Chain A
Amino acid sequence: QQQVKQSPQSLIVQKGGISIINCAYENTAFDYFPWYQQFPGKGPALLIAIRPDVSEKKEGRFTISFNKSAKQFSLHIMDSQPGDSATYFCAAVRMDSSYKLIFGSGTRLLVRP
């Protein structure tokens, strides 16, 4: 059972454009939602995270939008740059559990110059 569904699988954006990646979850017990960025040959690195009591969080060019009633959240990358080309993973965590990360399947982003 896939607990966190992520789309699209791949995304191509022109430099300066907006990249949007969507995730949906099923378990209402999840209460922490981080996004990770992974470059080829590297481990994932935390990008930005949100808790369900907040509808939006912004850090620089990265914004998370959260819709608790729809059980959906999304990552927006404004003014996308070629250096943003990477694989992005959403994740969900139950804070009352072992804090293990439940990952989406990933989105491979390519930003063209």
Chain B
Amino acid sequence: NAGVMQNPRHLVRRRGQEARLRCSPMKGHSHVYWYRQLPEEGLKFMVYLQKENIIDESGMPKERFSAEFPKEGPSILRIQQVVRGDSAAYFCASSPGERGEQFFGPGTRLTVL
């Protein structure tokens, strides 16, 4: 049973470009969480989604960031017009239900030049 998959593992963007990060949850999991880890810091919650619904986006920056989890396909975290401060590791976690253990993917390391 494959774990949580994230791609790409590394992403380099220039300021002003768009970044798209993908997360495929574990089989049978319909709940997805996104977290951001800045260098030398802990992980910070960004958004919680279920299929076709955003449940909690209290950790998402108000501008440039959006997330979706369509009925078919992976969850997408989209960052428009990236800035250097967006450089971080972005982790996705999935769980089988609201109170299930969260299983983390290997992360996408975004570097903004």
Contacts and interface: CB of A to CB of B under 8 A. Distances in A.
Contact of A43 (B44, B59, B99, B104): B104
Interface stretch (B11-19, B35-43, B71-79, B80-88): B35-43
Interface in A71-113: 89, 95, 97-106
Contact of A105 (B33, B42, B98): B42
A99 B98 contact: yes
A63 B84 CA distance: 40
A41 B6 CA distance: 13
A43 B4 contact: yes
Interface residues of A, number: 20
Interface residues of B, number: 25
Contacts of B45: 100-102
A79 to B, nearest CB: 26
A10 B46 CA distance: 26
A44 interface: yes
A100 B104 contact: no
Contacts, number: 53
Nearest to B100: A99
Contact of B91 (A6, A44, A102, A106): A44
B96 to A, nearest CB: 12
B52 interface: no
Nearest to B106: A43
Given A98-B55, A98-B56, A100-B56, A44 B43 contact: yes
- The 4 A-B residue pairs with the shortest CB-CB distance, nearest first, are A43-B104, A98-B56, A103-B42, A100-B45
13 contacts: A42-B106, A43-B4, A43-B104, A44-B43, A89-B42, A98-B48, A98-B55, A98-B56, A99-B98, A100-B59, A101-B35, A101-B93, A102-B45
Given A6-B42, A43-B93, 17 more contacts: A42-B107, A43-B107, A46-B102, A89-B43, A98-B56, A99-B102, A100-B33, A100-B48, A100-B59, A101-B93, A101-B102, A102-B45, A103-B35, A103-B42, A103-B44, A105-B41, A106-B42
